[in-house]
Structure 1
Amino acid sequence: MSIPTRIAQKPKRALHRYRNFFLTFFVLLSLSVTIILTSYLSSLGKTVKRSKYTALTLDNVNSPVVKQIAINSPSANPTNASCNYFNCFNIYRCGNQGNKLLVYVYPLKNYVDPANVPVTNQISKEFYLILQAIAGSSFYTSDPFEACLFIPSIDTLNQNRLRVKEVSQALKSLEFWNDGENHLIFNMIPGSVPDYNTVIDIPVSKAMIAGAGFSSLTYRAGFDVSLPVYSPHLENYKRQAQNRRNWLIISSQININSAFQQDLIEVKITFPNDLMVLGPCYHHNPMNSSIRCAGEDVYNYPDVLETGTFCLVIRGARLGQSSLLEAMAAGCIPVVIADSLTMPFHGVIDWIRAAIFVREVDILKAPEILKNVSRKRVVELRQHGTWLYERYFKSIQAITETTLEIMSDRVYPHLARDYNYWNVPQYPGIVPSLFLPVTAPKTRGFTAVILTYDRLESLFILITKLVKAPSLSKVLVIWNNQRKDPPEPSQWPKINRPLKVIQTKANKLSNRFYPYDEIETEAMLSIDDDIVMLTADELEFGFEVWREFPDRIVGFPSRTHIWDNSSICWKYESEWTNHISMVLTGAAFHHKYWSYMYTTSMPGDIKEWVDDHMNCEDIAMNFLVANMSGKPPIKVTSRKKFKCPECTNTEMLSADLNHMIERSQCINRFSSVYGTMPLKSVEFRADPVLYKDVFPKKLKRFNDIGSL
């Protein structure tokens, strides 16, 4: 080996040694760092390890744990006006147990300052009931680490009972306060003399406020929750339904603004027989709030409100007034005269359906405005106001649970309840039957359910016509003949849609409404085996109309019912009239839900009676749908001539002259079972747009619509 070569290799060996050294060094360094980090994280894990938090108990309310807090200078900004759900609420705290809002309530403590002076008074009965309602609700969790929402156990309901600076420090000392993030503060009496602010005067940082008496200037929409001012008069109050409403208007508030007091005196002079003004009973016991006086007359309160049609809810020293709930409890329609008031549960409850709003400048016109309210409107307002009170406001528990439901809807908007849930009463007899979009989807089409016995010729003709409808998804033949088997598969028409034959165990008309598993679409076309005159356009148009009204029967042959004074009973009528109340299911679309209800929930013995008499299953279905939906059926197209049970055909049941009489007997029997007449009449028929217009056929979608 030459000398130059050996000299050239020495640096390479040195570089190799250095490389091994650095490699060893970095390996050792990595191991050291790993060991250190592991040790640190282990100790950190021990530090943040969840401790066992016991569930909130309210047995020790009178002797809670004492906690001392330091008193510093208060925050300058009581509430952060810029806070909203998107910048002051941490959604990532939520969802620890799926789509469920979890609420944690801090343990009860009695806070004292450095001088051992209590910071908070003993909690009020109302706040105790709020904590009790939360602890007993499905939202409650005793583990703060899985909670989405935090409720301080510091009673902040009444601003007058609070030491603002000290309570602020008590809130900041809460273990999970974190500048108020995801905390909810309850308050019903905000502000204090002389300003009477419409929001609690306590620095709450990013916390939300569930408060009463918000104005439109202080309420942070979508972040705060507007509450009612609860009245202690309502705890044991029971409304007397027999009281007559002799007064048009009652004003029962105490200590209202002097300007409004003067206006009321002027209104009383102008309308002495319409307005009753109640005030404190100075000649009895002015401190007794359970009585009110009008002159020398003494009245029990709030019972006296039952004698008025309308009750005034006027802006007082504070914007929120307990008279709102007192009026609703007594069935007296609230007349709100407070321009900037944010109504309870704003954004959820539609108050236009339960109260009347009068501008403050129009208070002198209030009697004239209220006299123009129709009697029907008065009944609707009173009924809806009573329903709102019973559902949302009749107790502290109801108010608290509603508050939590609103918070849950905000956190999980994809599961939020809609307008109907919050504002539409579920009166007996009109139960919402379908939870569908306004327009049913078209993609899956409809299933044709054909009830047949052995008329093969007309059955096969019908099947070949049905498949021409573009939206037909499947044909289901209900073979009702137990003495004869259906034809072999090779004998059936060759069609481009699935066809299934179901052979029943008994010859019953109700078999057409059985909820068969084979019906995979929401829409069903119930059709008789001899209705062979309908065109593909008529069937497709009927399906399109049903999509717009998925909770009704939509079809072709229509009938009506009339009251016969001579026989003093209902009469079935098949004559052509300007109104209808039934669409026969011999050719009609309906939701498969109705088949389930017909089979499982038909009132009385109607279903058995239909099967025994082999008649009136279509009338029974119309009764069922009308009773549950409160809506009439819809007839489509002008076609009125059908091969149907009333047609003069010697091969049909209707050949018997007693058939029409029996149909009338069905109506009377069914109405007796229901205890009412649920059928709804309507003067309406659906026809395609441009149906009779003189336009080229290429501009019309449904050209092949049959005539009379």
Structure 2
Amino acid sequence: MKTGTATRRLLPCVFILSVCLLLYSILFLLNSGNVALPEPVIKLTPVKGAAVSATEVQRLPTPWLTPYVNDGHDVSSSSGTTQGCGSYACRTNQEAIKVFMYDLPPQFHFGLLGWEPREDESWPDVRQEVPSYPGGLTHQHSVEYWLTLDLLSSNSSCVEVGLCNAVRVHNSNDADVIFVPFFASLSYNLDSKLTKKKGRVSKDRKLQDKLVEFLMGREEWKRRDGRDHLIVAHHPNSLLRAREKLAPAMFVVADFGRTPVRIANLEKDIVAPYRHVVTTIASNDSLKFENRSTLLYFQGEIYRKDGGIIRQVLYYLFKKQKDVHFTSGRFHKNGAKEASQGMASSKFCLNLVGDTPSSNRLFDSIASLCIPVIISDSIELPFEDVLDYSEFCIFISESDALKPEFVMNLLRGIGSDEWNRMWRRIKEVAHHFEYHYPSQPGDSVQMIWEAVRRKLEMSSARLKYHRAKRFHRHH
């Protein structure tokens, strides 16, 4: 009887000792270096002109990142391309849309960037090399570039990170949407001007005509009269010659300022963010209300045509305000740096109607964590069916803005509590307005694909609700 009792008492001790020995053995093996374990993703290398700082990498949503084993490739490059990659894994979203992408000749896409294919190539091998996009203001309309890269990498076991909201398929019969990889904004920026050398028709116009001819002859276009096609025309002047003929398609645009509603409208088309030109600032408590000395910031062209006349009026209303920075200035070599510093030290940043309803300043403001003040009655905003902009932007109608002291009284009446609340919200949504390669969960690339999916589902109720709230909070 005594022997049995002693045995029962020893059993817990033996169990605890066994567990300790097992844990010790595992730790010994880990420290010995004989067991190969996946290393965490510690570096993401974007294309030239789209640098991601160390602070930005640190604040990426790491639970979404899939571990990879370092395969020895150098993922950094000082040349004009991004080279190499780790072994990233794409976890396809169950609701991911299936996208068929035309194999257009390089002259429509990466050929505009100087890429020349080898005999066996239709596209760059994005696992090894990514042609770089021009910097400066040209980069603000680079939407089609990022979407094309995302599709090219969606079937790769090497490039993608996190969830894919769109996956490339190679049979158009399997697709939810047909993507047209024409870099229309870049073509306009590079080749729309006529010179004696180019002749009477610009290269951009010739490409538009070729694109229309190509699409009109495709069975995919004829099947639904192009209504399931996705075409990016983000620059307001891009694809102007071809838009009417391609009107049934879904367009990805910056706004609808120069396009008749019968050609482009919110019912079928998607508004995408500009790629901002200022440096993204990391979340920093020292950049809150009390540490921003400038009340209101604007720098840009003051004398504009069309609706931009409001800029002149506001300039004369604000120029004597000591805590307002409202000056004329074009984008130049140090322009982005100056704007970054100015916006980061300002409480509010003006986004004014100009030649078109939208401008890149809204997205520069968001990247600077500067509360946007939007004065543009006809502006359309990216992803407004899922984002309530009244939570982090201030909307002022053009008629109210022209009233003496209206804007100043409104802004001076917003105290630190209200401003900090909006500031916290803008920090939460800022990543939705960033373009990445590889794309990241919730960034602009993935948000655009999600917007395409919602268009396919014809969901617009929440968009109407958020649009109705624009002027509600502060009026």
Would the TM-score normalized by the shorter structure come out above 0.5? yes
Equivalenced residue count is: 303
Contact 2:180 2:231 in 1 (8 A): yes
- Displacement after TM superposition at 1:201 (Å): 4.8
Is it true that 1:245 corresponds to 2:287 in the alignment? Answer: no
Equivalent position to 2:166, from 132, 139, 142: 139
- Native 8 Å contact 2:302 2:315 kept in 1: no
Counterparts of 1:560-575 in structure 2, within 5 Å, are none
The answer for the alignment partner of 1:307 in structure 2 is 345
CA shift for structure 1 position 313: 0.2
The CA deviation at 1:327 is: 0.4
Paired with 2:275 and 2:425, the residues of 1 have a C-alpha distance of 19
Residues of 2 paired with 1:408 and 1:314: CA distance? 31
Cα offsets for 1:479-506 (capped at 9, x unmatched): xxxxxxxxxxxxxxxxxxxxxxxxxxxx
- Kindly report which structure 2 residues correspond to 1:132-281, keeping only aligned pairs within 5 A, or say none: 132-135=149-152, 136=154, 137-143=164-170, 144-158=172-186, 159-161=188-190, 163-164=204-205, 166-174=207-215, 175=218, 176-178=220-222, 179-191=225-237, 201=243, 203-215=245-257, 218=261, 220-234=265-279, 238=282, 241-243=285-287, 244-254=291-301, 257=304, 259-270=309-320, 272-280=321-329
* 1:251–1:277 contact (8 Å) kept in structure 2: yes
Q: What's the offset of the Cα at 1:166?
A: 3.5
Residues 128 and 264 of structure 1: CA distance in aligned 2, closer, same or farther (over 3 Å): same
* Cα distance per residue 1:500-523 (max 9 Å; x no partner): xxxxxxxxxxxxxxxxxxxxxxxx
- How far did 1:120 drift? 7.9
Match in the other structure for 2:39? none
- Identity within the alignment, %: 18
What root-mean-square deviation, in Å, do the aligned CA atoms of Structure 1 and Structure 2 show? 3.8
Structure 1 residues 386 and 171: alpha-carbon distance in aligned structure 2, compared to 1, 3 A threshold:
farther
C-alpha contact 2:303 2:312 (8 A) present in aligned 1? no
Give the distance between the partners of 2:242 and 2:296, measured in 1 at CA. 32
Query: How many Å separate the matches in 1 of 2:351 and 2:377?
Result: 11
Deviations 1:306-351 (A, max 9, x none): 1111100001223221110110111111111111111122333211
Unaligned residue ranges in structure 2 (runs of 5+): 1-79, 82-92, 115-131, 134-141, 155-163, 193-203, 467-475
CA 1:331–1:165 in 2, change beyond 3 Å: closer, same or farther? Answer: same
Partner of 2:400: 362
Q: Compare relative contact order (CA 8 Å, sep 6+) and give the higher one, 1 or 2.
A: 2
Match of 1:386 in 2: 427
Q: Pick from 134, 140, 146 the counterpart of residue 129 of structure 1.
A: 146
Change (3 A) 1:269 1:418: closer
Aligned partners of 1:182 and 1:259: how far apart in 2?
39
Q: In the superposition, relative to structure 1, how do residues 119 and 247 fare at CA in structure 2: closer, same or farther (>3 Å)?
A: closer
Aligned to 1:103: 99
* Structure 1 counterpart of 2:200: none
Deviation at residue 363 of structure 1 after TM alignment: 2.4
Query: Using a 3 Å threshold, how does the CA distance of structure 1 residues 289 and 201 change in structure 2: closer, same or farther?
Result: farther
CA contact (8 A) 1:209 1:224 kept: yes
Contact 2:104-2:181 within 8 A present in 1 as well = yes
**In the TM superposition, what whole-angstrom CA distance separates every residue of 1:443-473 from its partner, at most 9, and x where no partner exists?**
xxxxxxxxxxxxxxxxxxxxxxxxxxxxxxx
Unaligned 5+ segments in structure 1 are 1-60, 63-96, 113-117, 292-298, 423-708
Aligned to 1:634: none
2:385 to 338, 347, 364: 347
Task: Report the CA distance shift for 1:100/1:301 in structure 2 as closer, same or farther (over 3 A).
Answer: closer
| Post-superposition offset of 1:288 | 1.7
Q: Tell me if the contact between 1:267 and 1:275 (Cα under 8 Å) persists in the aligned partners.
A: no
- What letter corresponds to residue 413 of structure 2 in structure 1? N
Distance 1:263 1:308, change over 3 A: same
SS in 2 for 1:242: helix
Determine if contact 2:256/2:265 at 8 Å carries over to the other structure.
no
CA contact (8 A) 1:306 1:331 kept: yes
Normalised by the length of structure 1, the TM-score is 0.38
Structure 1 distance, partners of 2:250, 2:376, is: 24
User: Could you tell me how far apart the structure 2 residues matched to 1:98 and 1:274 are?
Assistant: 51
Alpha-carbon distance in 1 for matches of 2:110, 2:434? 32
Amino acid of the structure 2 residue aligned with 1:264:
L
TM-score (norm 2): 0.55
